[in-house]
Structure 1
């Protein structure tokens, strides 16, 4: 990891990373989520004052009159760690707290409650209907494109959320939108502010990189027992076995359910007769529409089109692109369900190319145009029977699986054992050995093998005290799961792994020697010597010369390509100076020297200024939103309890304290 102050290349703007403080707060993340419409994230936002049980445990902070309890904090930390495990399978709650995740969660809770209190204080409210609509729009709660109550309940149970907690989360999210979107929309960045940053991207640096391999350093010999023990004590984390869990599981046989769900010939024929519109048996129309808020403007739009103005040209004047006007191909019944009965009647009263009078709905005034009419031409039953059979089988399998899962959950919650339930379903129970979260299996001699086990993330998310449960796997598969043993993290004694510790000690000793040599050479170069002069007499690889432009490295980072850390260091080292940087894995060190710096010339790429301005504008919006939230917190009043925060976090990290 580079020393503090050295830039790190990522997919964010390289220039902004070097010259500006990165905005990584939850506010910036929230704005991005709003842009993507990712409401499902609210499943894991803080609970509001009405959610779940009352405060319990220590009060970690008070926002206005609303306390943030230890219990609620612990719950959110658990959820945050569960999400992070999707990217870092071995992470534990203590790891998360020590990395600053606990403070991030607490600040989220404080900010959420502060905005909720501020909104209430200023008469802002979210209706139950709005909350219902947001929940119903979450794709995770859908089956066959529609909101499904059993799926909704099951996912809440998987996340250990009550419905009220979810509603409070959604309410907070909607309040955040109302409060923050106007703030973000009002930001601006002058062109003059962007020009220096754009010029810096065009800067060219020339320099050299000299590797100092650890392998080129003298053999440090064997360590004494005292040296080995001290090294082991200093690096306990490296010799700590992670938490491991053993569990039993039994996968529900979806293939057997699919066989039970296969429809009869009569059911297939009935579906065909009742859904003629799916098979061309009813007339359909390809329709376009615009929705205009004002009736007079809508009538003027109709007059213009009937007077000869192309529909798409008139729509463009209302801010619609071609694709925005497409309503698609619908039967009369489908269009009535998709929009409303009035719109459907208006569309099916038109001739091909015709434009309707304005039709009112809660959204405004709809003006419709029929692109083409598709006459009824039913596909014969024999040609579609297999298609219908598959559709009905899939739907019935989904329903049967959902019903089976619900019944199994009820039985497990009623106290039946995993073995008894599995036996009644005719499915085999399997046992997994104690595995780490990433699938590693440690034997008595601490040798490691890796076991592929798709249930591992679920096993580590599960609360062992809750007993057996039903969990969802990928592709609509489900399994019964029971955690049977939890082995806490433990330090392996040095005498059990002496050879490994000796090897690591030797690598560290050589790396320390390489660092000392790199620092000696860097100091000599900074005083005027060349790299060749400073490294004379040493068995070192030759220095590599290179010339880099910041813009090219920025583009590499944005494309997901890794920029070598020594090249990154070249960008922040002053002309004529040298700095050192560790190579990964203790392999050695680099000496990086900058020979020349050529300032950027905006005349070479004048369009770059606008691109940089947009990048600055995004960050400015994040910073404005964050500043606004801090102002809200001051208005509402936030009182942290440092002693309680310290005690709770100490307890959470104490699981691996040595």
Structure 2
């Protein structure tokens, strides 16, 4: 089971984990995604149909996965159903082909495994126990019935079983292990020479002709995108609420309504000892009652007497006494008890219970002063919401075909605001909203100079905007980018001169010069390193990366590249010693073997899946 869980994917990973589904279910979002024709099929794979409902559900869930990622724009084109359908359908075809192949091979999943997987999912639990109502509620939120979910879960476990079997049967040959060890345990000897930027010894300055030539050869680099700024008026419920005057009498009336509806029933947390019906139950109950009457502690008696396995390890604790969550006999039995007191025997279908009040919280109605500000804000917002919709319509009327925003501003008491410049792709403030940018660059606004329509940018906020400034796309003038180009050319000239020095240094070494003597002569920094491993902590990490990226050849090899300090780094590789198993600690060798086996298994499983999909017969409707 653990192997299966580790390899879960598809419906099980997406639906059961329910990282984004549960909040939607709780907020009332149901199966609205099941639009389109409920029946029919979109494709058939090896005789198995993919229905419109399956595709609609998969598209919806893929969209929710993407929306759950940070920084995703909900209005992005790639999130539209029509753009998701194609890739999602291909995923469903792949999945269906794998299921068909597994079933044709005689692989199956037992009902016991499926049921246990469902029962173990915390998303379907209430107070630590599987809850059928929660199970049905969550499934309905994503368009499943228990039957269709169980069938889909069975298919996902089937795919996981195949993947687990392939990966479990994977192995590593001695030759494979030796090959990887020879690289991982490799040691290299090398010399390093640092040519500092100061070795150039002269000021570098590009000519006017060079600057001009670079500019004209790279003009598209200096493209300034189309920009504009806007004037706008903003209508929002929050702003309207700030100016609403709420009478004290109205606040008092609302408070009185709250007090009239206030539920002062105490909150009670309970524990119990359950004696199940059966032979000896009466004697056991009498013995328990006797010990309680004698003053023995309830908590101490739970473990020896309670038949409720789920709660006996926690002193019989059941939690908050919530209507509908416990037998109806519990509430009246503890109604008049105080904290720590124990009830008389309570009979239910489960047996005989003795209840203890663990904690009792008396709820006191809040005072008027405690609630005054909150009620005032609540009433102000309610009034503002009514005014908002009336003013929104009026805002549209006042700005339609108007010369500007002044009339609407005066009539509705709205401030005319201005934005910073923004492009079609990005902006700040109000222009950070894509809906606003799209409206601003609408030809009616940007070319004809008219006001936009009233744009609702959220459920309680709308804007009307008009062009303030507009700059078409253009190539920046040379004077605007001259300093930038000059700095770029200076750096390029510096690197070219340093590269020439490095190449000349390497040429001398190839002609027989001694590396250290040559470095000392040129006053370059020199260092030598003998049989260094990849994991050596005494050598600079960037230098190590360069050394171990060099090809292993007979004799010496050379490499020159820009140093992080701005100079040039010349590396002379003098010796490469392949690693052996004896070079590695047993734990590292074991981990390497396990990792190689896992990677082989993943590759083999990917190859198997690709082969199955390639051979599958898919027909589209």
Tell me, in whole angstroms, the C-alpha distance in 1 between the residues paired with 2:240 and 2:79.
48
Matching of residue 266 in structure 1 with residue 263 in structure 2: no
Going from structure 1 to structure 2, the CA distance change for 1:283 and 1:108 (only over 3 Å counts) comes to same
Which of 492, 501, 504 matches 1:508?
492
CA distance in 1, matches of 2:180, 2:332: 57
Structure 1 residue 213 displacement after superposition: 5.3
Q: How many residues align?
A: 464
- Note if 1:111 corresponds to 2:95: no
1:601 and 2:584 matched: yes
Deviations 1:218-261 (A, max 9, x none): 55542352x43442245445422244331234454736514638
Contact preservation (8 Å) 2:454, 2:462: no
Deviation at 1:49, TM superposition (A): 9.1
Contact 1:180-1:625 within 8 A present in 2 as well:
no
Assess, with a 3 A threshold, how the Cα gap between structure 1 residues 256 and 236 changes in structure 2: closer, same or farther: same
What CA deviation, in whole Å up to 9, does each residue of 1:609-628 have, x standing for no partner?
79x86996899599869957
The answer as to whether partners of 1:408 and 1:421 remain within 8 angstroms in 2 is: no
Contact 1:202 1:550 in 2 (8 A): no
Question: Paired residue for 1:37, among 5, 19, 23?
Answer: 19
Name the SS for the 1:482 alignment partner.
strand
The 5-angstrom pairing of residues 13-28 of structure 1 reads none
Please name the residue that 1:128 is paired with.
none
Counterparts of 1:487-498 in structure 2, within 5 Å, are 487-498=471-482
Q: 1:235 to 1:618 in 2, by over 3 A?
A: farther
Instruction: Give the whole-Å Cα distance in 1 for the aligned partners of 2:436 and 2:611.
Output: 32
Q: Give the distance between the partners of 1:284 and 1:490, measured in 2 at CA.
A: 70
Equivalent residues in 2 for 1:202-601 (5 A)?
212=195, 216-217=199-200, 219-223=203-207, 225=209, 227-236=210-219, 238-251=221-234, 252=236, 254=238, 257-258=241-242, 260=244, 264-276=251-263, 281-286=264-269, 308=303, 314-315=309-310, 329=320, 335-336=322-323, 341=324, 343=326, 345=328, 348=331, 372-375=357-360, 377-379=362-364, 381-382=366-367, 385-393=368-376, 395-396=378-379, 416=399, 419=405, 422-435=409-422, 453-458=428-433, 462-464=437-439, 465=442, 467-471=453-457, 478=461, 480=463, 482=465, 484=467, 487-518=471-502, 532=516, 535=519, 537-538=521-522, 540=524, 568-569=545-546, 572-573=549-550, 579-582=559-562, 587=566, 589-591=568-570, 601=584
- The alpha-carbon deviation at position 311 of structure 1 amounts to 8.7
Please give the TM-score of this superposition, normalised by the length of structure 1.
0.48
Describe the shift of the 1:381–1:104 C-alpha distance in structure 2 as closer, same or farther (beyond 3 A): closer
Contact (CA 8 Å) 1:201, 1:551: kept in 2 or not?
A: no
Q: 1:639-654 maps to which residues of 2 (within 5 A)?
A: none
Q: Secondary structure at the match of 1:462?
A: helix
Bigger relative CO (Cα 8 Å, ≥ 6 apart): 1
Cα distance, 1:103–1:258 mapped onto 2, change above 3 Å = closer
Tell me which moved more, 563-572 or 197-206: 197-206
Please say which of residues 589-598 and 250-259 is displaced more in the overlay: 589-598
Report the secondary structure of 1:463's partner residue. Answer: helix
What is the CA-CA distance between 1:415 and the residue it aligns to? 8.1
Which of 609, 613, 617 is equivalent to 1:631? 613
**3-state DSSP of counterpart to 1:260:** coil
Shift of 1:111: 1.7
Preserved CA contact (<8 Å) 1:246 1:486: yes
**Per-residue deviation at 1:264?**
0.8
Length-normalised TM-score, structure 2: 0.51
Residues 221 and 115 of structure 1, relative CA distance in 2, 3 Å threshold = closer
- Segments of 5+ residues of structure 2 without an aligned counterpart are 1-8, 38-49, 53-61, 101-140, 144-148, 273-284, 286-298, 335-340, 443-451
After TM superposition, give the deviation of residue 428 of structure 1 in Å.
Answer: 1.0
Once residues 376 and 576 of structure 2 are traced to their aligned partners in structure 1, the CA distance between those partners, rounded to angstroms, is: 70
**Post-superposition shift, 1:113?**
3.3
Q: Cα distance 1:627–1:260, how it changes in 2: closer, same or farther (>3 A)? A: farther
For residues 486 and 271 of structure 1, the distance between their equivalents in structure 2, rounded to whole angstroms, comes to: 54
Structure 2: distance between partners of 1:493 and 1:406 = 49
Give the aligned partner of residue 278 of structure 2. none
- Distance verdict in 2 for CA 1:462–1:593, change over 3 Å: farther
User: What's the CA shift string for 1:63-97, capped at 9, x where partnerless?
Assistant: x999xxxxxxxxx99xx9x9999599xxxx9xxxx
Q: Deviations over 1:72-127 (max 9, x none)?
A: xxxx99xx9x9999599xxxx9xxxxxxx98999995422134568899999xxxx
CA gap of 1:247–1:287, structure 2 versus 1, over 3 A, is farther
Query: Would the alpha carbon gap of residues 460 and 629 (structure 1) be closer, same or farther in structure 2, given more than 3 Å must change?
Result: farther
Matched residue SS, 1:248 = strand
Q: Do the aligned partners of 2:226 and 2:472 also contact (CA within 8 Å) in 1?
A: yes
Change (3 A) 1:503 1:202: closer
Alpha-carbon spacing, 1:110–1:380, altered in 2? closer, same or farther (3 Å)? closer
C-alpha separation in 2, matches of 1:326 and 1:625: 53
Q: Which residue of 2 aligns with 1:154?
A: none
Residues 112-261 of structure 1 mapped to structure 2, 5 A cutoff = 112-115=88-91, 183=159, 187-188=163-164, 189-190=167-168, 212=195, 216-217=199-200, 219-223=203-207, 225=209, 227-236=210-219, 238-251=221-234, 252=236, 254=238, 257-258=241-242, 260=244
Aligned CA distance change for structure 1 residues 267 and 103 (closer, same or farther; 3 Å): closer
- SS of match in other structure, 1:375: strand
- CA distance in 2 between counterparts of 1:421 and 1:326 reads 63
Call closer, same or farther: CA 1:507–1:116 in 2, change over 3 Å: same
Q: Distance in 2 between matches of 1:544 and 1:407?
A: 81
**Which residue does 2:112 correspond to in 1?**
none
Larger Rg: 2
Distance in 2 between residues matched to 1:111 and 1:329, nearest whole Å: 47
SS state of the match for residue 471, structure 1? Answer: strand
